[in-house]
Amino acid sequence: MNKDNVNSGVCPDHRRLDRIEEKIDRLSDIMVTLARAEERLIGLEEDKRDVYNSIDDIESRLGKLEQSVVLNSKTVDSLHKLIWILLTGVLTTLIAYTIQ
């Protein structure tokens, strides 16, 4: 051992081990941070999958709704024409009755 190491009270191996230990601690912190980030990414991926499934469900329901609206529209159009035909018949009958 040289004179500087004896005066400082710390041998070079201990300082080196302390630096290695600090680096290992920093690596451990980084690994924990990476693990947390990975958990967040997994959670976000699951949320994204849930949103896609919800969108697919909504698209399916919307398609069924569109079919129902088309059917209802046809029914309303038919009733509208029938009402006009009946109204025309009733008015024609009233006019013919009034003329006689």
pLDDT digits (tens, 9 = 90+) for 9-30: 557 788 999 999 999 999 999 9
Reported confidence tier of residue 8, pLDDT bands at 50, 70, 90? low
Reported confidence tier of residue 41, pLDDT bands at 50, 70, 90? very high
Q: What is the CA radius of gyration of the chain?
A: 42
What is the average pLDDT across 68-97? Answer: 95
Phi and psi angles of residue 93, each rounded to the nearest 5 degrees, phi first: -65, -40
On whether the pTM is more than 0.95, the answer is: no
